Amino acid sequence: MNEKVDYLIIGQGLAGSILAHTLLEKEKKVLVLDQPSLQHCSKVAAGICNPITGRNLVRTWKSKELFSFLNHFYPKLEQKFNQKFFFNIPVYRPFQNLEQQQDWSAHEDKVNEEVIYPKHRFLGQSVNDDFGGLLIKNGGYLRTDIFLETIKNYLIDKNAYQEELFDFDKLNTENNKISYKDIEARHIIFCRGAADKVNPFFEKLPLAPAKGEILHIELENSNQELVEKLNQIILNKGCWLVPFQNKENYLKDKVGKTSTTLFRTGSNYDHKDLTLKPTEKAKQQIETKLKSVLSLDYQIKKQEVGIRPATRTRKPLIGTHNTLKQIHIFNGFGAKGSSMIPYFAHQFVEYLLNHGELEREVRIDKWFLK
């Protein structure tokens, strides 16, 4: 017998997961198809949510809306699933030089709700922050692996998940109906991340995938006080350093109570080499940046690769096919999936269910005219 669903979602990265959860909360019947053995950049991501970025230390696009949304969204899900995965710790951003420190002081008042301006170097001699830096509140990091596993279990529980390699040749879109093998759906939504660069329905969209690599490291514990302080912040100067508690500690409920010497650091951008092979070049780039900010020995435990669904416009790509009104895409979250996806999943679901407006910058209609 055919299975009938309202929304067939392809991909269970952060985009597919959060969208599926949002639709299920609206009591829609959802089925997510995912092939976990494919590249899956959500799983390797550091999950950092940082409202102030770039050389000029400015607010990221729509940061007020995104951050007030995510600061409710993730804690609400933690409560619902009785699982810790969002860590609301500040980003510490040392100034690169005196000029940057002075430039910042000139426009400090514009963003000060999000920022504490530390008066002293508070990490000690092993961290290169001669000019002080900004302690940026309001963000944090998402343990994406724990989050994705939690949502996958929830979907399985709701009969809303199937491990499956989606094949376009088996999709039928005739007579305004979607059918895929024995599944009938009112709508199909593509959340395949960088894989949607090749999608016959959305060929003109400006997806520009970018490879990124990340190192798992273990810091030597000779300076325990510093390691403990590094557990309380995300260090961000040229590269970032994020605590990465052992998964076992989640099960034993030790997270947040004990500090760890395990961290992740990265990353780099490569638009040419889109293979999943770790490279010596990226490793060296990351290590050079790390060593310029932190003088502490470490051992590399692992190197991982992901392909970000970046776009030429640096904005997400959300909306409906120009003629096939039951085919949609929710993609293009680039390097900022963990901060952008909760807000835009909410906006997209309002658009799908209640004729809500999609933000002008993310709408895909303009790309069909080109």
Query: Which residues partner with 240 through β-bridges?
Result: 236, 266
The H or E element spanning position 135 is strand 133-136
Tell whether residue 342 is a contact of ligand FAD (CB under 6 A).
no
Ramachandran region of residue 132, left (φ > 0), alpha (ψ -120 to 50) or beta?
left
Distance CA 231, CA 259 (A): 6
One residue of 47, 139, 243, 319 binding ligand FAD per CB under 6 A: 47
Distance CA 225, CA 127 (A): 13
65 CB neighbour count, 10 Å cutoff:
13
Tell whether residue 243 is a contact of ligand FAD (CB under 6 A).
no
Tell whether residue 317 is a contact of ligand FAD (CB under 6 A).
no
Whether residue 335 contacts residue 45, with contact meaning beta carbons closer than 8 Å, is answered with: no
One residue of 51, 139, 266, 319 binding ligand FAD per CB under 6 A: 266
| Amino acid symbol at 175 | N
- What tokens appear for 61 in the block? 């696009």
Stretch that binds ligand FAD, among 152-160, 179-187, 254-262, 305-313 (CB under 6 A): 305-313
Query: Which residues partner with 35 through β-bridges?
Result: none
In the complex, residue closest to ligand FAD by CB: 13
One residue of 70, 191, 227, 239 binding ligand FAD per CB under 6 A: 191
Q: Which C-beta is closer to ligand FAD: that of 30 or that of 101? A: 30
The H or E element spanning position 291 is helix 280-293
Q: Which of residues 157-176 bind ligand FAD (CB under 6 A)?
A: 165-166
Shortest Cβ 275–ligand FAD spacing (Å): 13
Q: Which C-beta is closer to ligand FAD: that of 101 or that of 268? A: 268
Tell whether residue 339 is a contact of ligand FAD (CB under 6 A).
yes
Q: Which of residues 11-30 bind ligand FAD (CB under 6 A)?
A: 11-16
Tell me how many residues contact ligand FAD (CB under 6 A). 43
One residue of 20, 30, 45, 230 binding ligand FAD per CB under 6 A: 45
Q: Which C-beta is closer to ligand FAD: that of 108 or that of 203? A: 203
The H or E element spanning position 284 is helix 280-293
Whether residue 16 contacts residue 32, with contact meaning beta carbons closer than 8 Å, is answered with: yes
Whether residue 330 contacts residue 342, with contact meaning beta carbons closer than 8 Å, is answered with: no
Interface ranges with ligand FAD (CB under 6 A): 10-16, 33-36, 38, 40-42, 44-48, 165-166, 191-195, 212-214, 266-267, 306, 308-309, 331, 333-339
